[in-house]
């Protein structure tokens, strides 16, 4: 079957017919070529999208650091060390959830003075109750003797007398006592 694109009433020479056939043949190639380009572009987009997603996932895996699950919450607007809390109780910067804080959480004894052997102490304070013994002793010796005494994990010194005490350190209540000194041995907390 032969299709006539040019009506028979038009007379064309052989060179003109060759040009028309060439144009028709070329236009079919162009159409086929443009369809191939569209198909290739679609395949490239699919491949590119896959590559981008794989690259993104790889970057996430590479840049994610392990998160320390320790959080430093506030209790009624205060931290465990007794200081006022801003948003959390970290010693350094924390994430938005108050966790993974630089240098960890503020602890109960952070604001206390550190004495010989790690004893934590404060001036003008007393721990009432929980007594396991007492003796007349200089203030500088009170913490050392408490450390040697079985069960002693905190102490108070007032008016020349050292009071040895034992209780969970988390339960201690600190009271003001002019001229007194109180101290804790955090490593001896029975928890």
Are residue 69 and residue 54 in the same domain, yes or no?
Answer: no
Total domains in the chain come to 3
% the chain with pLDDT above 90:
29
Domain boundary among 49, 84, 110: 110
Does residue 2 fall inside a structural domain?
no
Does residue 7 fall inside a structural domain?
no
Q: Is the pTM of this model over 0.85?
A: no
Q: What is the pLDDT of residue 47?
A: 64
Does residue 148 fall inside a structural domain?
yes
For 46-75, what is each residue's pLDDT tens digit?
A: 666 675 766 666 555 555 555 546 888 887
Residue 167 sits in a domain whose CATH number is 3.50.4.10
Are residue 74 and residue 125 in the same domain, yes or no?
Answer: no
Does residue 140 fall inside a structural domain?
yes
Maximum average pLDDT range among 11-25, 43-57, 71-85: 71-85
Are residue 55 and residue 77 in the same domain, yes or no?
Answer: no
Are residue 127 and residue 158 in the same domain, yes or no?
Answer: yes
Does residue 5 fall inside a structural domain?
no
Q: What is the pLDDT of residue 15?
A: 58
**Which domain covers residue 100, as residue numbers?**
65-110
Mean pLDDT of 121-127: 93
Specify whether the CB–CB gap between 108 and 153 falls below 8 A: no
Domain boundary among 48, 82, 110: 110
In angstroms, the CA 72 to CA 68 distance is 11
> Two tokens at 2?
């032969």
What sign for the dihedral angle of Cα 141, 143, 144, 147?
A: positive
In angstroms, the CA 82 to CA 50 distance is 53
Are residue 58 and residue 69 in the same domain, yes or no?
Answer: no
Are residue 36 and residue 57 in the same domain, yes or no?
Answer: yes
Torsion of CA 100, 103, 108, 114, to 10 degrees: 170
Are residue 129 and residue 184 in the same domain, yes or no?
Answer: yes
Are residue 178 and residue 124 in the same domain, yes or no?
Answer: yes
Buried b (16+ CB within 10 A) or exposed e, 3-41: eeeeeeeeeeeeeeeeeeeeeeeeeeeeeeeeeeeeeee
Are residue 96 and residue 150 in the same domain, yes or no?
Answer: no
Does residue 103 fall inside a structural domain?
yes
Are residue 54 and residue 72 in the same domain, yes or no?
Answer: no
Are residue 143 and residue 176 in the same domain, yes or no?
Answer: yes
Are residue 122 and residue 169 in the same domain, yes or no?
Answer: yes
Does residue 92 fall inside a structural domain?
yes
For 155-179, what is each residue's pLDDT tens digit?
A: 999 999 999 999 988 788 889 999 9
Does residue 52 fall inside a structural domain?
yes
């Amino acid at each position: 079957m032969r299709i006539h694109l040019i009506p028979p009433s038009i007379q064309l020479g052989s060179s003109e017919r060759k040009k028309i056939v060439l144009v028709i043949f070329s236009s079919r190639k162009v159409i086929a070529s443009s369809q191939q380009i569209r198909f290739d572009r679609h395949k490239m987009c699919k491949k590119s999208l896959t590559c981008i997603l794989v690259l993104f996932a790889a970057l996430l895996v590479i840049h994610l650091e392990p998160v320390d699950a320790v959080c430093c919450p506030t209790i009624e607007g205060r931290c465990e060390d007794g200081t006022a809390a801003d948003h959390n109780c970290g010693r350094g910067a924390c994430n938005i959830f108050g966790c993974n804080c630089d240098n960890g959480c503020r602890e109960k004894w952070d604001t206390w003075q550190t004495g010989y052997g790690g004893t934590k102490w404060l001036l003008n304070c007393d721990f009432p109750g929980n007594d396991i013994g007492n003796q007349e002793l200089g203030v500088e010796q009170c913490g050392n003797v408490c450390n040697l005494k079985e069960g002693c994990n905190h102490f108070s010194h007032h008016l020349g007398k050292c009071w040895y005490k034992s209780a969970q350190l988390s339960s201690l209540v600190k009271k003001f006592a002019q001229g007194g000194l109180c101290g804790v041995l955090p490593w001896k907390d029975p928890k």
